[in-house]
Amino acid sequence: MTVYLVGAGPGAPDLLTLRAARILAQADIVFHDALVAPEVLQIAFRAEKVLVGKRSGRYSTAQRFINKQLADAARKHRVVVRLKGGDPMLFGRAHEEIDFLRRNSIGVEVVPGITAATAASAEIGISLTRRGAARSVAFVTPRVGQGEAPSNWVGAALAADTVAIYMAAGEAAVIAQALIAAGKPPATPVAIVENASLPSARKFAGQLADLAELAAKTHDGPALILLGQVFSEAAAVVRPARGRRAQAR
C-alpha cells in the first residue's frame, strides 16, 4: 500500500520527471489538481482520474475528504497517485496528506517536481542566485489556512536577497504595501511570471511600487511574483515576444 505524491511540474508536460511518468503509467487511480496539464494525465492511461484540486475560490474539496479518499484508494488499488502542480512539498499541503496516510499505516513516496519559482526563473532567463547580487532565495506565501495566525512571510522576504511569492498575484496591492511598510525600498525590482513554462507564458517587470499595476495585466493563469535586485534586468528581457516563441519541444 503506497500512495505516491508526485510533482507534475509547472505546466509544460515535458518538464515532468521520468520517475513521475513511470509511476503515472502504472497508476490505477490519480487524484490531481486543477492545474495539471491534460497531456500529463494522459500518461496515466489506465488510471481513473479524480479532480480534487483547489484553485482559490473556484473548486475545492475539503482537505480532510481528500485524505480519506487517498487512504480508501490505497486499500483498494496497487498504485495510487496524488498528483500536485510544481513540487508536491512546496505550498501543496503535502504534510497533511503524508501525516494522515502514515497514521493509517499507508506508505508514502514523494516524487519531486519542478517548482514554479525555478520555472519562472527559466522563463525570464534570470538566475535567482546571481553571484555578487543574491546569495539567498526565499519561497514565501502570504496565504495561511483558515483560522491560522498570520505568518512572518514579510520578515522572510526582507531577509532574503531574492524572493518568490506564491499565491499572491491576486492581492498584489496588499503585498506591495506590506513590504514597503516593513522597509523594502519601493524601487526594488520585481517581475511577475504567469503560466511559466507554457506557450501562454506572460511576463511583466517593474518596481515594487508598481506591483499592483503589473499584476493587473495578468490574465487567468497561475502567476508568481519575483522580487530582488537580480530582476533589475528583467524589464529588458520580458518584452512580449512578437509572434510565436521559439520552441525546443
Nearer to ligand SAH, 183 or 240 (CB): 240
Which residue has the closest beta carbon to ligand SAH? 86
CA–CA separation, 55 vs 195, rounded Å? Answer: 14
* Terminal Cα-to-Cα distance of the chain (whole angstroms): 36
In contact, 46 and 34? CB cutoff 8 Å: no
Closer CB to ligand SAH, 6 or 73, in the complex: 6
Q: How far is the CB of 175 from ligand SAH (least distance, A)?
A: 11
Q: Are 33 and 56 in contact (CB under 8 A)?
A: no
Q: 33, 84, 184, 203: which one is catalytic?
A: 33
Catalytic (active site) residue 203: no
Residue placing its CB nearer to ligand SAH in the complex, 113 or 206: 113
CA distance 128 to 11: 20
> 239 CB contacts (<8 Å, ≥6 apart)?
none
The active-site residue, picked from 28, 49, 54, 210, is 54
d(CA 49, CA 34) in angstroms, rounded, equals 11
| 87 labelled catalytic | no
Residues lying near ligand SAH in the complex (CB under 6 A) are found at 10-11, 84-87, 90-92, 115-116, 119-120, 166-167, 193-197, 222-224
Nearer to ligand SAH, 171 or 213 (CB): 171
H helical segments located in 132-222: 153-159, 172-181, 211-215
For the CB of residue 37, give the shortest distance to ligand SAH in the complex, in Å. 10
> From the CB of 128, what's the least distance to ligand SAH, in Å?
14
Q: Which residues are designated catalytic?
A: 33, 54
